[in-house]
Amino acid sequence: MDLGLNGKRVLVSGGSRGIGRAIVACFLAEGAQVAFCARNHDGVASASTAFGAGAFGAAVDVTDAAQVGAWVQEAAGRMGGIDIVVPNVSALAGGDDLATWRRAFETDLLGTAAMVKAALPLLRASDAAAIVLISSVSGREVDMFAEPYGVLKAALSHYSKTLSARHAGEGIRVNTVSPGNVYFADGVWGDIERNDPATFAGCLAANPMGRMATPQEVARATVFLASPAASFITGTNLLIDGGLTRGVQF
């Protein structure tokens, strides 16, 4: 299937590692141009070298709306516009203290909203405008990552649905993907595997397919939803969880 992404202009935050890095690579493989950001300068430089031509990296703090806005404008100028936006950064925060809540809120929710709001005027000029937000199964069910991570991921799903209703008439599609357990060595599950093997074994066993997802599996679903091949899909939340959740989606 031709996804129709050749030449499309894409923004991805959190693109230097894990799911975000896989999303950037997948868009590049489909012929898109990609501007990506991450907080760490060294991580951005390393990813840029690996991606090669077609990807433009920048160090950006997504909790700083002015930085986000400047990056979006710079990326649009470099690529000649914006067609697709994938806000992917998360604080991955757990804990009930207010400082953790504030950090998570500013990163997961406000960081996403800042990126979307900065890009919307550019998306209105696109004939293939799409936004894909990265939520989580933790936004659907109460699990070990419920507070504040799951609460804010649930808010992102609501925000996505709101955006989809508000902007459908402008030709801007908005969807969400909700991954389950996604394993990569330098990610949260790699850390749990090394430091809390009993918890890791229990969580791994809860996956009906007997394994966790790869970043590439999440990336392929994200890129499809963002692509013109999904041109009549908006307002949906796609679970990528290998059967981990049991709730029926009506």
8 is catalytic: no
How many residues does this entry show for the chain?
250
149 is catalytic: yes
SS (H, E, C) 79-119: HCCCCEEECCCCCCCECCCHHHHHHHHHHHHHHHHHHHHHH
3-class state of residue 237 by DSSP: strand
Which residue among the candidates 8, 90, 126, 149 is catalytic per the annotation?
Answer: 149
Phi-psi region of 84 (alpha: psi -120 to 50; beta: other; left: phi over 0): beta
117 is catalytic: no
What residues does 132 pair with on adjacent strands? 175
Which residue among the candidates 8, 13, 126, 153 is catalytic per the annotation?
Answer: 153
Which residue among the candidates 13, 90, 135, 178 is catalytic per the annotation?
Answer: 135
153 is catalytic: yes
Can you tell me the distance from the alpha carbon of 1 to that of 239, in angstroms, rounded to the nearest whole number?
Answer: 21
Can you tell me the distance from the alpha carbon of 181 to that of 192, in angstroms, rounded to the nearest whole number?
Answer: 12
Which residue among the candidates 136, 138, 164, 178 is catalytic per the annotation?
Answer: 136
Q: Write out the catalytic residue numbers.
A: 135-136, 149, 153
